[in-house]
Amino acid sequence: VLSGCGVYDGTEIHEASAVLVHLSRGGAHVHMYAPDVPQMHVVDHSKGQPAATESRNVLVESARIARGKITNLAKLTTTDHDAVIFPGGFGAAKNLSTFAVDGKDCKVNKEVERVLKDFHKAGKPIGLCCISPVLAAKVLAGAEVTVGHEEEEGGKWPYAGTAGAIKEMGGKHCVKEAWTVFSLTPSYEAHVDTKNKVVTTPAFMCETELHNIFDGIGAMVKNVLKLTGK
């Protein structure tokens, strides 16, 4: 499920690409969806500033990542799919919800809320990375998720305050690394809430190298596919 195209006002493109690569490697057949709604705003990514005179549509912008093969989120059903995954990017907090503005008091897009509840009720796994775990924390009471660490640690975890909001929304936050370096062979961490079948990983919540983000997302995808039982 995509939320636009671009980290500051839509889906984080590297995260979406990583999810798609790992799903492909895992033998999954993928369909991409996005809500047919206006973006909260448009950000000039070269300046990091909103472009006040522009407006864009989430579905249309998401089609850029999907290479045109995108479907309105309203048509996503559990009967046709074994799992659902939400990449991160500020679009999850701006277009799929109002978290960027309202924090713990945010509202979630009605179709996003429906999809999360439907997959949860059907016992089918839900994968989320970066900021998107806030969606599960808001919609699925008591869900265990991770957005990484709970302290900024000198800028390594610039969005650490998100963990506090997750707790205030009734979710359980579990501290995880984007990757684990204290071993001869680094491992890449995802938190698996086995009760709710929710799998999360920090991704770009951490300031680290791109390959660590890529492999951390791989751990999330691997666990989502494992939970499908296929």
Q: Which residues are catalytic?
A: 130
Evaluate whether 39 touches 56 at the Cβ level (below 8 Å). Answer: yes
50 burial class (0-12, 13-18, 19+ CB within 10 angstroms)?
middle
Alpha-carbon distances, residue 200 vs 8, 38, 208 (angstroms): 20, 27, 17
Residue the block writes with tokens 């086995």: 194
Evaluate whether 13 touches 20 at the Cβ level (below 8 Å). Answer: no
For helices 13-25 and 58-65, the axis angle rounded to 10 degrees is 50
DSSP string for 25-43: HTT----EEE--SB-S--E
Q: Could you tell me which residues come within 8 angstroms of residue 77 by beta carbon, excluding any fewer than 6 positions away?
A: 118
